[in-house]
Amino acid sequence: MIEAAKKYPGEIVPYIALTRQSAKNIMWPALEEIRRLYQVPMEPKESALEYEMTVNGKISRIMLIGADQKNFIDRLRGPKYPLAVIDEAGHFREHIESLVDDVLDPATSDFNGSIMLLGTPGPVPAGYFYEVTTKASLGFATHRWTVRDNPHMPDIEGFLSDLKKKKGWSEDHPTYRREWWGEWVYDPSSLVYKISDYNISDKKDEYLDWNYVLGIDIGWHDQTAFVVLAYSVDSPIIHVIQSEGFSEMIPSDIAEYTQMIIEQYRPTNIVMDTGGIGKSIAEEFRRRFHIPIKPAEKKDKLA
């Protein structure tokens, strides 16, 4: 990424991870270490998660992005990129194909640039990352390595022996083969949440009168979360109808999304965590958008 930023003055090199926080945790320390060890003339802009490098009077940028950021695919449209990197590609959802084919392919074409998809295999041998790493016809050159190729582990065999003993794994255990050997292995156990029958309920009874409640938890780098619950005075069961979240939503975005949910479910109550900045946001929603926010009761919240 640094070489691409130096070679193409004034251009952007995006690094895309599953979340904004994981992009920062994975790549920010690595770039900082390279900058310090090799005296690379690039300047960190931590609030924007970018490194800037002045080359021939033009500013090149290495930009760290999370797939959890609101409209992150649309935010990548427009600029041209000499290189784009997607990390942990095996754990992206189906939108990764649209990201590569509809956005990054056209964006890198001006430079005859490169798109790198990195990561360990996912729990099921299927999906876009599986296709591009197993089918040469899709045009991706494939490079593989295992834990034994790591030069920073002094006793790899001893480590692996202890790991298998501690976990009770054989050489054929799916997690061992996937995470340490980089092999595509079908592993249905990793896809199932281990829950008890107590937590399982049928679909809500459509013959009952259901009321809806909307809960909102404000975030920025952490997601702003929206949860819709359904309850009935004639049933002891509360159903989670909808649960989703988005990063980097400004108050007007949150209000707009809240109004969409209101139109769909007509909730009897809308509850928000009004701690900190949430109090002023809730008040703006009441006055400007006429959304009747109620503060969440937190007296029994665990520390």
160 and 25 together in one domain: no
pLDDT for residue 173 is more than 70? yes
CATH number at residue 239: 3.30.420.40
Instruction: Say yes or no to pLDDT of 204 above 80.
Output: no
Are 161 and 126 contained in the same domain? no
On whether residue 301 sits in a domain, the answer given is no
Q: How many domains does the chain have?
A: 3
The answer to whether residue 119 is domain-embedded is yes
78 and 135 belong to one structural domain: yes
CA distance 250 to 263: 20
* 176 and 249, same domain (yes or no): no
Shared domain check, 7 and 129: yes
pLDDT tens digits for range 83-123: 999 999 988 877 898 899 999 999 999 999 999 999 999 88
The C-alpha atoms of residue 119 and residue 142 are separated, in whole angstroms, by 12
Q: 77 and 126, same structural domain? A: yes
119 and 78 inside one domain: yes
Position 68 pLDDT exceeds 90: no
- Could you tell me if 50 and 108 lie in one domain? yes
Domain range for 253: 197-295
**What percent of the chain lies above the pLDDT cut of 90?**
67
Categorize the per-residue pLDDT at 191 as very low, low, confident or very high, splitting at 50, 70 and 90: low
* 141 and 7, same domain (yes or no): yes
Same domain, 100 and 230: no
Same domain, yes or no, for 130 and 221?
Answer: no
Name the pLDDT band for 127 (thresholds 50, 70, 90): confident
pTM for the predicted model, two decimal places: 0.65
Give the residue from 191, 219, 252 where a domain finishes. 191
pLDDT at position 303 = 42
Under a CB-based contact definition with an 8 Å cutoff, are residues 80 and 107 in contact?
A: yes
Which residue is it, tokens 């159903």?
239
- Residue 169 is predicted with a pLDDT of 94
